[in-house]
């Protein structure tokens, strides 16, 4: 909505990555897994630095960017918008997508 575009809005984002964690667990080695602090920074840059008209577009951008940068086996992204300007009683609206490497290669 125009007012949301002008004023900005809050989002809640969940990112779930699918990958084999055995090498990291067996060697207790961060270099053998995906650093979730770096994933957080990637998502934060997108959410705070880019503009999207649709939750779907934001979720897709997050999935593709995280996929390209960290190469997991799959990425699931849920973007929630609390207090959406909809006449009704609800906590939030949300979009959830799941992507595999074909989406970001």
Confirm whether 44 is a catalytic residue. no
Residue 8 has pLDDT above 80, yes or no: no
What is the average per-residue pLDDT within 84-103? 84
Residue 20 has pLDDT above 90, yes or no: yes
Using CA atoms, how far residue 15 sits from 4, 12, 70, 87, 97, in Å, is 24, 10, 12, 29, 10
83: confidence class by pLDDT, cuts 50, 70, 90: confident
For the chain, domains (ranges, CATH) are: 2-103 (3.30.1130.10)
What is the average per-residue pLDDT within 80-100? 83
Q: Tens digit of pLDDT for each residue in 22-77?
A: 999 999 999 999 999 999 999 999 999 999 989 999 999 999 999 999 999 999 99
List the catalytic residue out of 11, 67, 75, 81: 81
């Amino acid at each position: 909505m125009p007012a949301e575009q002008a004023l900005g809005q809050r989002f809640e984002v969940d990112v779930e990555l699918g990958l084999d964690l055995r090498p990291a667990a067996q060697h207790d080695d961060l270099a053998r897994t995906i650093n979730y602090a770096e994933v957080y920074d990637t998502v934060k840059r997108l959410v705070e630095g880019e503009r999207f008209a649709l939750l779907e577009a934001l979720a897709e951008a997050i999935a593709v960017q995280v996929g390209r940068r960290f190469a997991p086996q799959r990425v699931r992204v849920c973007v929630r918008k609390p207090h959406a300007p909809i006449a009704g009683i609800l906590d939030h609206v949300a979009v959830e997508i799941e992507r595999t490497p074909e989406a970001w290669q």
